[in-house]
Amino acid sequence: MTDPLAGVRVLDLTNVLAGPYCCYQLALMGAEVIKVERPGSGDLARVLGADPERNKQGMGISFLAQNAGKKSVTLDMKSHKGKVLLERLVESADVLVENFRPGVMARLGLDYAALKEVNPRLIYCAISGFGQDGPRKDDPAYDQIVQGMSGVMSITGGPETAPYRVGYPLADTIGGMTAAFSIAAALNARPRGTFLDIAMTEAVISTMGWVVSNYMIGGVLPAAHGNENTTSAPSGTFITADKPINIAANRDSQWEDLARHLGRADLLAHADYRTREDRKRNRHALRATLEDTLRQRPAADWVRELNELGVPAGMVLSVPDALNDAQLQGRGLISQVPFGSETLALSGSPAMIDGMRPQPSGPPPALGVDNQEIWQSLGLSADEIAELQKDGVI
């Protein structure tokens, strides 16, 4: 059951992150994912990452992170022979994913209108920054551009620091996960065959539910509030004797338990803090008052005691600390994947299925490593493959 997409063939024509992340999620669920890459260079992520030596080898860390378990073939889709080969691949595929700018595949004669004639059951997923139509459809869109255009940066940080970029490629990742979810849904349709238009900007905005609804329905202009929860107080990040912690006393009962545990039951009757709205209006003064007590003891003590009381609290961890946390370690999110003479630590699926976590089925592929297998499976002879390589088609 950890391979619910077993038997599904996905053609991954994507680059860098949103598309590769989408197809990685499908691969983790058991789909056969074939990366179709440009001869000689391949996915741009092959030369991106913190390790220059890996970049030189075309196996940059940015590529390794979301391409394990895939196969790789090379193909020049601009050439006539390359287009014919892609069509032959499409005949055998269930899904095609691309993240070119809108119109690129049409100019190649390989858009959905053309390919559905080859395979009417094809699920064609196009991922772009702004969608396949509209006034911005031709604008290039990397993650930071989308973060800015979606409004995310305007509400990230505090009043004195915003606009601030979220510290990882949020838009690429959300766009990729939205595409993977949409593909999985389309695979369930009968009869199969559809065109999916995934705009990263729209995917991000759809996740900003409360922020967007507060503005559209409540007329509240979204603003940057730093680490404060705008819907409740005290709810945010607090200083302790050694490390910051998050406390979310969102219910009145949690606020009361927190105040009493800190020896500040007097605050419960204070005119500034009697109701939720009172506490929200005076959140900064309340935080400072509570921190007078919180600063007297270490973070770990407060987190343990507050959670025992039913007041949600948690450490603010670094990425290494989060990865080494006993909770994460115990559930096996990170898998160890053999890769030549080394072992790569890579993320498995974020979903558990019947108590088991889908993991990468193999290492990330070298560029074109599966050319012989895939092209031969379509009926090409060894001589034909050699000629295509000589001509730069594959």
**What confidence tens digit (pLDDT) does each residue in 179-215 have?**
999 999 999 999 999 999 999 999 999 999 999 999 9
Instruction: Report the pLDDT value the prediction gives residue 24, as an integer from 0 to 100.
Output: 98
Mean pLDDT throughout 169-178?
98
Instruction: Report the pLDDT value the prediction gives residue 2, as an integer from 0 to 100.
Output: 75
pLDDT over 80 at 28, yes or no? yes
Instruction: Report the pLDDT value the prediction gives residue 110, as an integer from 0 to 100.
Output: 97
Cβ atoms of 193 and 124 closer than 8 Å: no
pLDDT over 90 at 1, yes or no? no
Instruction: Report the pLDDT value the prediction gives residue 391, as an integer from 0 to 100.
Output: 94
pLDDT for 126-144, tens place per residue?
A: 999 999 999 999 999 999 9
The residues, ordered by sequence, that sit 6+ positions from 13 with a Cβ below 8 Å of its Cβ are 19, 36, 96, 97, 98, 99, 100
CA distances from 99 to 23, 89, 154, 230, 289 (A): 12, 18, 26, 36, 51
Cβ atoms of 295 and 319 closer than 8 Å: no
CA distance 129 to 87: 26
Domains of the chain, first to last: 9-207+333-390 (3.40.50.10540), 235-239+244-315 (3.30.1540.10)
Whole-model pTM over 0.75: yes
Annotated catalytic sites, by residue?
172
Instruction: Report the pLDDT value the prediction gives residue 25, as an integer from 0 to 100.
Output: 98
Mean pLDDT throughout 83-90?
96
More confident residue, 116 or 2: 116
The two three-digit tokens of residue 321, written as one number:
């600390």
Mean pLDDT throughout 378-389?
94
Measured from the Cβ of residue 31, the count of other Cβ atoms closer than 10 Å reads 27
- Give the model's confidence band at 45: pLDDT under 50 very low, under 70 low, under 90 confident, else very high: very high
The verdict on whether omega for the bond into residue 320 sits within 30 degrees of 0, i.e. cis, is no
Percent of the chain scoring above 70 in pLDDT: 100
